[in-house]
Amino acid sequence: MHSQFMHTSWSLSAVIVLGTLLTGCGNRQPETPEPLQPAPAEPQTTAAPGPAVQADAAAATVTAQKLSPPAASREPELADMKVAQVVSEKLGVPVELRYQLDGDAMAGQPVTLHLAAVPRVAGANLTMSIKQESGIAFAKDELHAAKVDAATPYRQQLQLARQVGGPAEIRVLVTMDFPIGTGFTYFSVPLGGGSAQSKPAVDGTE
């Protein structure tokens, strides 16, 4: 049964058409169950089209669409990239996500976002993708690495543009397969500010 998780997880992802689940996806806030009221529909995210660009990543197949056609910029050193915070500290993927923005995304101009997923242990089928949200335009394609080695950065770079009133952060989903199952972790990447290599204090047990 080991392969069942992996196989079904991936087949599911492959067959479901992008975007079919986005419309009305989101009452993100459970409310007091009375009185009954319909939840507001969440606007569908629009990602600007653009040519595909091959990003640099060892042992990874990366395809990223960019908002504008300039060639991929040089990847920053891993040590110079900031560490993204996990959204939920329950059991997830053993991956550290680092990021760097070549510019101030909050200023409204397109900026290049560098992402690097660094697994702490080996596995398979690492994916990295950005959650589509209103007010942020970016490439849709996700990174996929079939073979995952420990301590190897799996990089992706793309351009994103934050619209006025857009979110102050983006969410990056990383998934990974293991011999006994599949894990996922959502990371939070702030579009402005943030200190390099800092992590929040933990006051709970996950």
Site string for other proteins, 21-40 (x = CB under 8 A): xxxxxxxxxxxxxx-xxxx-
* Cα-based distances in Å from 186 to 67, 116, 170, 195: 24, 14, 10, 19
Give CA–CA dist 66/147, Å, rounded.
Answer: 25
3 binds other proteins (CB under 8 A): no
Restricting to residues 71-110, name those near other proteins by CB under 8 A.
78, 86-96
Give CA–CA dist 95/188, Å, rounded.
Answer: 13
Nearer to other proteins by C-beta: 160 or 172? 172
Nearer to other proteins by C-beta: 58 or 91? 91
Total site size for other proteins, rule CB under 8 A: 81
Map residue 163 onto helix, strand or coil.
coil
48 binds other proteins (CB under 8 A): no
Nearer to other proteins by C-beta: 75 or 142? 142
13 binds other proteins (CB under 8 A): yes
Restricting to residues 55-74, name those near other proteins by CB under 8 A.
none
5 binds other proteins (CB under 8 A): yes
The residue count of the chain comes to 206
> 13 φ, ψ to 5°?
-65, -35
Restricting to residues 114-143, name those near other proteins by CB under 8 A.
118, 120-123, 129-132, 140, 142
Nearer to other proteins by C-beta: 18 or 164? 18
150 binds other proteins (CB under 8 A): yes
Dihedral sign for Cα 184, 50, 46, 104, please.
positive
* Cα-based distances in Å from 137 to 40, 105, 130, 169: 22, 11, 10, 12
Restricting to residues 164-183, name those near other proteins by CB under 8 A.
171-173, 175, 178-183
- State which H helix or E strand residue 178 sits in: strand 169-178
